[in-house]
Amino acid sequence: MILILRPDITDDQLVVVEDRLESLGVHVHRARGAERTVLTLDGDEELLRSAQLEALSGVERLVATQKPYKLASRDYREERTTIPVGRAVVGGRRVVVMAGPCSVESRAQCFTIGEAVARAGATVFRGGAFKPRTSPYSFQGLGQEGLEILAEVRDRTGLAVITEVMDTRDVALVCEYADILQIGARNIQNFSLLNEVGKARKPVFLKRGMMTTISELLMSAEYVMANGNEQVMLCERGIRSFDTTLRNTLDLSAVPVLQGLTHLPVIVDPSHGVGDWRFVAPMARAAVAAGADGLMIEVHNTPETAFSDGKQSLLPKRFAASMAEMRKVARAIGRTL
């Protein structure tokens, strides 16, 4: 069960509530967010219901849920979560588009791509300063220099910035430069990292792993939220199946399924979902039609020389054409892009 406390609860009132729960033999986990404090309760449900906890000063309501992901569930919050990021609001009526190169390679490259995607209507610039690669000999990213370039792109274009954080030791550094902290597919169950970004007060973007179930993805979100950070976005980016025709199998059914289970915004990454630029645009349109709250699309001005993922990157002109097509789909379902 979940005990939701009033935003204005005092420390003395909180002590009274926790003492009452202790007297009932209830195990309590406290999650203190920016807006409110929530207590997740592990104990006898009938006893908790009969204890009249909602009569205590500072208590807002008691919520019953059988789901292991309590804070991420719609039992905790029925209304959809919206997350302001720069000039965008993720989870609102507008479908937010995040676009840019897989890797930050140079200032010239990022300025060229950033200006192009901004003109086309993107509101968030994506680019990897730290790159998790399958081979230790592949390009690993520019590190802090890459972060500095991303911040310059934001200053130059007005786009918010999302980039991946791979190590608990880098969370504070990435927070200095990025507007959104991305947890990649390979780190979706790196619980130490999830705990650390949960303590940060930046929006967190969780990419579903190649073999991660929807329940496991929501439990990863729960780790972040249990540490007080409720600004979480979920990203479907393809799962590994028996078919090797494409890089991954893009599971668009995850969009409505997740939206039925959680109040958190759901994003789709068709670039990693298919791994081939020829199929990115149609899957992006399909993601909008499925009800995605946002898209993450890889764009590169010279994909043939890209340091990583050139095969799945759209040229800026193709990205602009895709944006025009997605706008038509968005309008058809009562949204904007």
Q: Tens digit of pLDDT for each residue in 122-147? A: 999 999 998 766 666 666 678 999 99
Angstrom distances, CA of residue 318 to CA of 237, 274, 280, 301, 313 = 20, 16, 10, 10, 10
Q: Which two tokens stand for residue 263?
A: 């109040």
- Give me the mean pLDDT over the 57-63 stretch: 91
Q: Is the pLDDT of residue 53 over 70?
A: yes
Furthest-apart CA pair in the chain: how many Å? 66
Angle, helix 144-157 to helix 107-120, in steps of 10 degrees: 40
Tell me the C-alpha distance between 312 and 297, whole Å: 9
Tell me the C-alpha distance between 214 and 218, whole Å: 6
From the centroid of its chain, how far is CA 152? 23
Per-residue confidence band for 311, with pLDDT thresholds at 50, 70 and 90: very high
Q: What is the pLDDT of residues 325-336, one digit of tens each?
A: 999 999 999 999
Q: Is the pLDDT of residue 247 over 80?
A: yes
Mean pLDDT taken over the chain: 93
Q: What is the pLDDT of residues 299-309, one digit of tens each?
A: 999 999 999 99
Q: What is the pLDDT of residue 46?
A: 87
Q: What is the pLDDT of residues 73-122, one digit of tens each?
A: 998 888 999 999 999 999 999 999 999 999 999 999 999 999 999 999 99
- pTM (2 decimals)? 0.91
Q: What is the pLDDT of residue 65?
A: 84
- Give yes or no for a contact between 224 and 197, defined as CB atoms under 8 angstroms apart: yes
- Give me the mean pLDDT over the 285-303 stretch: 98
Q: Is the pLDDT of residue 275 over 80?
A: yes
Which residues, including other chains, have CB under 8 Å from residue 249's CB and lie 6 or more apart?
Answer: 238, 239, 240, 241, 243, 273
Question: What domains can be seen in the chain, in order of their start residue?
Answer: 2-63 (3.30.70.1140), 83-332 (3.20.20.70)
Which residues, including other chains, have CB under 8 Å from residue 135's CB and lie 6 or more apart?
Answer: none
